[in-house]
Homo-oligomer: A and B are copies of this chain.
Amino acid sequence: MDRRLFLKTSLTGVALATVPSVNAAPKAENNMPKMKAVPKQDAFRLGMAGYTFVKFDIDKTLDVMQKLDVHYLCIKNFHLPLDSDAEQIRAFHDKLASKGVTGYAVGPIYMKTKDEVDKAFAYAKRVGVKLLVGVPNYELLDYTEQKVKDYDIRLAIHLHGPDMPLYPSATDIWNNVCNRDKRMGMCLDIGHDLRYNQNPLADLKKYASRVFDIHLKDVTGNTKKDRAIELGRGKIDFPVFVRLLRKVGYTGSCSLEYEKDMTNPFLGIAESIGYFRAICDATRK
């Protein structure tokens, strides 16, 4: 044991008193708590869009979600097929629960025929969720509206920006649902909305009453050729976005739909989850 350590551990007070005096330490801030307070819970939840894991099975999906401490999944049919029976659905829910994950919705499900609308709603009911993220063809909206009423399941229509003609923007969805049943709304994909040169933040505010689900996404800009990127590296202003979620009283899920490096997306997913959490922490009063 060296002399200094000997003094510190054996003589303590006496030794310290005999050490040559040094500059007094500058004064501390008394108003700076040593440890952060337990953060207030937000009304919205952080989740994961199943499509993020299109190249991976449900076990890998849940392993990543557990490591990242994310507890809400929008279930895609490649993880739980549309024709799953009650037994398969129960096993699936049990598997999710064993990793602390809740399947809060199903979809996105594309519906090009009445039969596909029927199947989608029957599936959502069997799965036991009250939210269906879906994309019915425009001409099926009357039929779909009746299903929404029959099943009392909310429909969140997913917008896909410039990549497909169906529902390119939040405004397009709004125009198609605003005179319909109040359980018809949108899954606001903020990245695709921006790629269609819309303002996803203004759209969140304008259409809040019909925003039932959100796909968290960052993109490099406001054109079709722009692409998905890790949250924070693109053009979405997340501090403004999160403050707005609170302002409009959003109570749904903000689910990361990460569409970069889809065969090896894990670092990007984790970076994005950390990014969103920190935005929430730093903008909380």
Contact = CB atoms under 8 A, between A and B. Distances in A.
B175 A25 contact: yes
Interface hub of A5, A238, A240, A275 (most chain B Cβ within 10 A): A275
Interface in A271-285: 271-279, 281-283
A253 interface: no
Interface string A15-56: 000000011011111001111110000000000000000000
B221 A35 contact: yes
A10 interface: no
A199 B34 contact: yes
Interface hub of A4, A203, A269, A276 (most chain B Cβ within 10 A): A4
Interface in A1-20: 2-5, 8-9
B64 A281 contact: no
Contacts of A101: none
Given A64-B267, A274-B270, A26 B207 contact: yes
Interface string A162-181: 00011000010011001100
